[in-house]
Structure 1
Amino acid sequence: MDRRTLLLAPALLLPLPRRAAAGQAVPPWRPERPVRVVVPFAPGGATDVVARLLQETVSGILGQPLVIENRPGGAAGLIGAEAVAKAAPDGHTILINSNAHVIAPALVARMPYDAIADFAPIAHLGRIPQVLVVNPRLPVTDMRSLLEWLRANRGRVNFAAAGIGSANHLASEVFRAATGAEVQMVQYRGGGPAMQAVIAGEAHMCVDPVASALGHIRAGTVRPIAVAGDTRAAALPEVPSAAEAGLPAWSAAAWIAAFAPARTPQAAVAALNAAFNEAMQRLEQRLTELAIERRPELATPEALLAFVRQDAARSQQVLRDAGVRPE
């Protein structure tokens, strides 16, 4: 060997850097610590129910626990969503939110974040039909008697909602517009507190996703009147749809989705997407029991982004038509 070869020989024996190794696959992303999941509403609402239903299964798939943090407050869950928008984009903080995520810009004139640009869509976690329920002590049993009672009590009815800009609030505004009812819309810090207000008689009625209302309906603490839209909910086969009940103009459903901060690495988004989709498949029977409908066509982050943009335009138009203006 010449002198140059002898000097280079030790270097030739060193291992190549992993990123330069020929033909070596890049290992899949996995969280290095617990994943913080922000739910921007109080416990007990549909968003919280879905997050907790998926929590254990997703944790097992990822190999790290999901730690749910309820952060209610602000219009349309603004406080919790802002916390995620400003979190480190490393895959260890995510947001699980409802339609409220895209409703916020219709309510808040100076948004502290962009609901589309400041988030990376991860996974669609289900569509949930909405059900109208009343306190069981009210003298109403169906849509016809409810509308007659509302006309007889104009301006004296408390209609509980899950906070300004929530999916429940949007569905409530659609109901109010469809019926012309004169009610006092009372905002709470989430679907759970709104439902408790109806149960306690503090409010007369509310709209809630079937997933979170189901237990209260079966316990008899609230009385269901109708499910929004054209079809009944499989979990409530005895409850008529709004169309069957004579109010076809009332059509609304909640959706739940997971988001990460913008600029989260694509590998992290892909791993989180795969984990949530797998959990949804494993828990499909339980989801069906709660009337949470999987949407396979929205399984990819790209499809979810297109859906979110479309629903943002539709939902914000509904609120404008209802006379809601950003403040």
Structure 2
Amino acid sequence: MGLATPAIVRAQAAWRPTRAVRLIVPAAPGGSNDIVGRIIAESAGQILGQPIIIDNRAGAGSVIGSEAAARSAPDGYTLLINSSLATVPAMVSRMPYNTLTDFEGVAVAGFSPHLLVVNPRVEARTAQEFVALLRASPGRFNYASAGLGSGPHIGGLLFMSRMNVEAETVHYRGGGPGIAAMVSGEAHFGTPTMASAIGQVRGGALRALAVLSDQRSPALPDVPNATEAGIPGVVHEEFFPIVAPKGTPPEAVAAMGTAFRQAIQQSAARLNELTGVAPRAGFETNAQVMALVRDGIDSYTRILRAAGVQPE
């Protein structure tokens, strides 16, 4: 047993990148994947001894960037971070890639609840007041989605279904543009990721009515959780899987996994402070990462079908 461990370590450490690694973010700059990806990439690049370059590929609710990753050479030099990896298959009927068979799991950057936020000019100080406003004025308000099948899209559908309210959906090319639309007043409300909205909430550009979780978040301790806010059942959490194209050599997947998990731990305090994202143990292998994605697909599919939403 004592001789096997160093051998395993040497085998995993045998692969090292000799040039820059590309981390595809399938959304515009400023969204949660972009922010989390940049924080982790900085530390991971230092650990690996090569820079990790962010490649923003926005469009189609993350499908364009994810397809680009799936079709990339499986040589260890392309990775994808996508918190919508498990939500999109529950929403999109014709996928140009197979989420569960076209990727290898590398790591999970962390978990974070979504928020219910409104533009400050919206005349509601609480979630219950906002629900009453929506019921009194059907068709008056719109909400910002980060694209078809994105976490903010599903969060909005979940909120409207559970609260029996209606609003027009406006799809933007990622979380960043959706946040900008809410700040400007072009969109009235949304259920963005905490990572993409926390700065605007703290600065007063957006008003947070609830954290869509069963608990309050240490990152926004004054914002009530879903039950406290009077919207029980509107619980929506995202996670950030990092994956590589299927066929990437196991030694490259292992080396990347080790580097990114170390980078995630090193960046944990910064991630939580800037984005409300917190890492969790238990995702040390390809199988564990992909099992989380599979379970997410199943969960989101059940939520959406129960809400009467069919794939488009």
Which of 250, 253, 264 lines up with 1:280 in the alignment? 264
Report what 1:111 is aligned to. Answer: 95
Shift of 1:26: 8.1
Which of 253, 257, 268 lines up with 2:241 in the alignment? 257
Report what 1:35 is aligned to. Answer: 21
1:27 to 1:175, Cα distance in 2 relative to 1, 3 A = closer
Q: Would you say the 8 A contact 2:108–2:242 is kept in 1? A: yes
Q: Would you say the 8 A contact 1:229–1:248 is kept in 2? A: no
Q: Deviations over 1:58-79 (max 9, x none)?
A: 11111111111110111x3111
Shift of 1:275: 0.6
Report what 1:95 is aligned to. Answer: 80
Separation in 2 of the partners of 1:26 and 1:46? 30
Q: Would you say the 8 A contact 2:12–2:255 is kept in 1? A: no
Report what 2:47 is aligned to. Answer: 61
Shift of 1:110: 2.4
Query: More deviation in 290-299 or 173-182?
Result: 290-299
Pairs aligned (count):
302
Separation in 1 of the partners of 2:11 and 2:88? 42
- The secondary structure found in structure 2 opposite 1:259 is strand
Shift of 1:304: 1.2
1:291 matched to 2:308? The reply is: no
1:312 to 1:179, Cα distance in 2 relative to 1, 3 A = same
Q: Would you say the 8 A contact 2:144–2:169 is kept in 1? A: yes
Which amino acid counterpart does residue 295 of structure 2 have in structure 1? Answer: Q
Percent of aligned pairs with the same residue? 44
Report what 1:143 is aligned to. Answer: 127
Shift of 1:247: 1.2
Which of 291, 294, 307 lines up with 1:306 in the alignment? 291
Separation in 1 of the partners of 2:163 and 2:98? 33
- The secondary structure found in structure 2 opposite 1:234 is coil
Shift of 1:170: 1.3
1:25 to 1:278, Cα distance in 2 relative to 1, 3 A = closer
Q: Which runs of 5+ in 1 are unaligned?
A: 1-23
Separation in 2 of the partners of 1:27 and 1:50? 25
1:155 matched to 2:136? The reply is: no
Report what 1:6 is aligned to. Answer: none
1:220 matched to 2:204? The reply is: yes
Report what 1:189 is aligned to. Answer: 173
1:52 to 1:25, Cα distance in 2 relative to 1, 3 A = closer
Q: Would you say the 8 A contact 1:85–1:118 is kept in 2? A: yes
Which of 8, 33, 42 lines up with 1:47 in the alignment? 33
Structure ID, larger Rg: 1
Separation in 1 of the partners of 2:293 and 2:11? 33
Shift of 1:82: 0.6
Separation in 2 of the partners of 1:263 and 1:253? 30
1:92 to 1:241, Cα distance in 2 relative to 1, 3 A = same
Q: Deviations over 1:120-154 (max 9, x none)?
A: 01101110111111010111101121111111111
Report what 2:56 is aligned to. Answer: 70
Separation in 1 of the partners of 2:202 and 2:95? 39
- The secondary structure found in structure 2 opposite 1:102 is coil
Shift of 1:316: 1.8
Report what 1:10 is aligned to. Answer: none
- The secondary structure found in structure 1 opposite 2:92 is coil
Q: Deviations over 1:140-181 (max 9, x none)?
A: 101121111111111111111111101111111111111111
- The secondary structure found in structure 2 opposite 1:176 is helix
Shift of 1:27: 5.5
RMSD: 1.4
Separation in 2 of the partners of 1:199 and 1:184? 17
Which amino acid counterpart does residue 49 of structure 1 have in structure 2? Answer: I
Q: Would you say the 8 A contact 1:191–1:208 is kept in 2? A: yes
1:325 matched to 2:310? The reply is: yes
Which of 231, 252, 270 lines up with 2:215 in the alignment? 231
Flag as ranges the 4+ runs of structure 1 deviating above 4 A: 24-27
Separation in 2 of the partners of 1:214 and 1:126? 16
Separation in 2 of the partners of 1:317 and 1:26? 38
Shift of 1:101: 1.1
